[in-house]
A and B are shown apart, each in its own frame.
Chain A
Amino acid sequence: MSKISELSLTKIVNGIKKKDFSSEEVTKSFIDNSKKSKKLNTYITECFDEALKFSKNFDKKKDYKGLLSGVPIAVKDLFCTKNVKTTAGSKILHNFIPTYESTVTSNLWSQGAFLLGKLNCDEFAMGSSNETSFFGNVKNPYGEKLVPGGSSGGSASALAAGLTPATIGTDTGGSIRQPASFTGTVGLKPTYGRCSRWGIVAFASSLDQAGPMTINVEDSALLLQAMSGYDSKDSTSVDKKVENYSSNLTDKIKGLKIGIPKEYRVDKMPTEIDDLWKKGIEYLKDAGAIIKNISLEHTMYALPAYYIVAPAEASSNLARYDGVKYGHRARGKNLIEMYENTRSEGFGNEVKRRILIGTYVLSSGYYDAYYLKAQKVRKLIKNDFDKAFKDVDAILTPSTPSSAFKIGDKSDDPVSMYLNDIFTVPVNLSGLPAISVPAGYDKNNLPLGLQLIGKAFDEQTILNLSLAIEKRANFKKNYKIWWS
């Protein structure tokens, strides 16, 4: 039985269709694993009974038309799920039960999947280690003392540990790709506008994007296809045909031009990251790609610009948590004091820091100096990419400047935590698609990922390139189960 949970999403979908096993057997297998995984702290809400019931009904109805027919999927607790608690990892939403379903999750359900549970994440997706969650930090299957990355840390950990066949996360500055890199899994941030943001708890609206997290590239293509599409409820979603990413998936990438940006060779980068990058270049050369050196000259300004744009947007998005309409409420002598106490009790330290930074940079007299400046820098960063993509089809970089670090190592110093996203943030600022694919290990046998950045709406090319890397890197999960 436990063997089913070792299979990829694609194999599970096909196995159910071919009746090699039932949806109920699949569901039981993942529930069994999940029940034994308390030490990982991945789940905020378990929907095991409902999932089992759904799977039994599915097996009776035998409707195999969907892309994900009969598959249980646990999702990041940032997606609103109808009648199932949605917390965003925050105390301020600890009791929030949406009366509606996010578009992305409904897309999955209309392809025949159903909800297995809601997965832990950094509070309001603000963090790179899953340490800011009100529900406690998540642990990495690769080590009890290691962070799984963040903010989609619960999703990455649950996926890597075999608790869900696939999952979805959100990525504002690297929140899908960095945890994917830390857990040896595949994480894709689609082009801004590819997936609807409707019903996702908002962090920074011009950067947020949902995406698939899977154990291999083939699954990533399948899940991306299932979740993407235009949505009239999100005016920033783009009405562009969703490709058949799965059937178009190929590792025949001969002749594609790959850019290597020199600015990503940052100071103090561990040699093993540099070695991994070189290996990635060799893999792609071996597959017939043409390697070109390129320059993305404003890369060093991406993180500082991000830490203006993201907190500014967050401070206005999070103004809605006032203790009146939903969520936690504290007492106060008058309305203002009630607001202030509610928000003081309801938000954790990192969220408060970001709201305060956002409030500061948007406050009277500072708008031009900070927000407008950041949007100008963003333009320069985007121009760099536009220029580069005239000569190349995709860009290869490391996903992260290190492997998974220890819990507590960076939690005292916000800026050192922010530096984790140095390779992932420029992509969000420019709205481009990017994927992290596991490509090797560091000296402690911890997974490391490579990132491929694509042209807008060209997810197919980065999926194909990732497949070529995946086949050559031959990455296998190599942790010992310590949590059950």
Chain B
Amino acid sequence: MSIDKDTVKHISKLARISLDENKVESLSKDLTSIMKFIESLNKLNTDKTTPLTSIINASLKSRKDEVKDGKIRDQILKNSPEKNDEFFVVPKVIE
């Protein structure tokens, strides 16, 4: 499967990464070679194989549903690039 330039642009959009037009070509080449490498898996018939869901045979523990680390608003906001009192600030989303 080759990843052409339009596909590169499409998945960049999905991944929310803006791309310079001049980088699209080389990305298309790199991603195509990676996908070719990945597609060697097609040689292997897995019709009768069930997919792996967990690598360690341990059942998940249940726990009480309780707040243990609440009231840390200031800590959560501390690394925000832009904040206003107790809010994260983002560009306007509603006209």
Q: How many A-B residue pairs have CB under 8 A?
A: 161
Stretch at the interface among A8-16, A107-115, A263-271, A300-308: A300-308
CB <8 Å contact, B40 and A304: yes
A176 to B52, CA, bound (A): 24
Q: Are B78 and A97 in contact (CB under 8 A)?
A: yes
Q: Are A431 and B55 in contact (CB under 8 A)?
A: yes
Q: Could you say which of A239, A329, A377, A415 contacts B34, with CB atoms under 8 Å apart?
A: A415
Q: Can you list the 9 inter-chain pairs with the closest CB atoms, starting with the nearest?
A: A431-B55, A326-B79, A375-B51, A329-B81, A340-B18, A99-B75, A376-B46, A379-B52, A344-B18
In the complex, whether A255 has a CB less than 8 A from a CB of chain B is: no
B residues less than 8 Å from A408 (CB atoms)? none
Is B14 in the interface zone, CB < 8 Å from A? Answer: yes
Chain B residues closer than 8 Å to A337, beta-carbon distance: 18, 91
Q: Determine if B67 is an interface residue (Cβ-Cβ < 8 Å).
A: no
Contact check: which of A236, A301, A315, A329 meets B15 at CB < 8 Å?
A315
Cα–Cα distance between A423 and B75 once the two chains are bound (Å): 42
Interface contact B81-A376, CB-CB below 8 Å: no
Contact A373 B56 (CB under 8 A): no
**Known A335-B91, A352-B17, A376-B46: A99·B72 in contact at CB below 8 Å:** yes
* Among B37, B49, B52, B58: residue with most chain A CB under 10 A: B52
Residues 40-95 of B at the A interface (beta carbon under 8 Å): 40-41, 44, 46, 49-53, 55-56, 58, 60-61, 63, 72, 75-76, 78-82, 88, 90-93
The interface size bin for chain B is: 35 or more
User: Residues 24-43 of chain B: 1 if any A CB is under 8 Å from the residue's CB, otherwise 0?
Assistant: 00010011011101111100
Check B44 against A298 for contact (C-beta < 8 Å): yes
Name the residue on B nearest A336 (C-beta): B16
Contacts of A206 in B (CB 8 A): 55
Given A304-B37, A324-B80, A335-B90: A378 and B52 interface contact (C-beta under 8 Å): yes
Query: Chain A contacts of B50 at CB under 8 A?
Result: 376, 379
Are B63 and A232 in contact, CB atoms less than 8 angstroms apart? yes
Chain B residues near A (Cβ < 8 Å)? 3, 7-8, 11-12, 14-19, 27, 30-31, 33-35, 37-41, 44, 46, 49-53, 55-56, 58, 60-61, 63, 72, 75-76, 78-82, 88, 90-93
CA of A86 to CA of B12, assembled, Å: 27
Q: Is A341 an interface residue (CB 8 A)?
A: yes
* Contact between chains at A301 and B38 (CB < 8 Å): no
Answer whether residue A57 sits at the interface, using C-beta atoms and an 8 A cutoff: no
The CB with the most chain B CB atoms within 10 A, among A304, A328, A359, A431, is that of A304
Chain A hits for B14, CB < 8 A:
359, 363
For A375, list chain B residues within 8 Å (CB). 51-53
A298–B52 Cα distance when bound, in Å, is 15
Is the Cβ of B52 less than 8 Å from the Cβ of A357? no
The answer, among B19, B30, B34, B39, for a CB contact under 8 Å with A344, is B19
The answer to the question of A355 belonging to the interface, with a C-beta cut-off of 8 Å to chain B, is yes
Residues from chain B with Cβ under 8 Å of A333 in the complex: 91
